[in-house]
Amino acid sequence: MPSVDDSKCILVTGATSGIGRALALALAKLPSHPRVIGTGRRKERLEELNKIDGIHGVPLDLNTDLDTLKKSTEDLIIRFPDLDTVILNAGIQREVHFKKPQEINLPDLIEEIGVNYTSNVAFITYVLPHFLKLSAQGRPSFIVTVTSGLAILPGSFVPNYSASKAALHNFSLSLRAQLHDTNVHVLELIPPLVESELHDVSGTTEILSKFWMPLDDFTKEAVQGFRKGDHNIPVGVTWKDSFEKYEQGKEEAVLEMQKRMESVWTRERS
């Protein structure tokens, strides 16, 4: 089974802190020594990445207009023609309390959906022609979406975040089914609550730090899943149990539906 061990060049979004940075550092140490591109918006953090052997810090803002994002993606492929793996990790999380609707900032909610979901779909759309070209050449490529355990069992305190990750989770299932007969592989990393700067925006870091999974432990388990080529990588006992309970058989059902529709389309076009 193809795995990230086969990757020649790996791009990690949101690599200037937290999960993204930890994954970039760990993947650069794989025995295959892939080139790793760590992207983000903070210039000083990108400069720090550039000082690490095997990692290139490259500015990339996913939450921008579509023309700019398309041009940025095309420029990345020109600069790194061996790019064969993208790990879509960038995300934001905000608490929202609907008992106080007058305090809800709707532009913030729209931005959260944009960063966590639609920007990922756009980036995948722009990178897929390159990956399908590699597929036609017999080379595997990998699209890794980073969702959340809250995509499976939502956290009512972060309802919009949970919904955005659930959207990305369902999109990942559909994308994997659509690409089933190609050499483009769709993996989904499903983190638990992990040590991260993600929670600084809502001011909950101190409270959550009592419960979160240490970043080093998470990274080790995530990379193991990448190297095995697992389609779904729920990390942490709680989310593994939830995945087993709520997601059992869903991937197979989505793929069966896709194949049925392909059969219908083939008959109609013949």
Active-site residues, by number, are 161
State how far the Cα of 240 lies from the Cα of 107, in Å rounded to an integer: 34
Tokens 């940025």 identify what position? 72
State the Cα angle at 179 between 228 and 229, rounded to 5°.
0
Exposed, middle or buried: residue 8 (CB in 10 Å: 0-12, 13-18, 19+)? Answer: middle
- Determine the Cα–Cα distance for residues 199 and 206; give it in Å rounded to an integer: 9
Residue 151 CB partners (closer than 8 Å, separation 6+)? 162, 165, 166, 168, 169, 190
| Amino acid making up residue 267 | R
- Which two three-digit tokens encode residue 21? 């940075």
∠ CA(213), CA(216), CA(222), 5° rounding?
85
Name 1's Cβ contacts closer than 8 Å, sequence gap at least 6.
228, 229
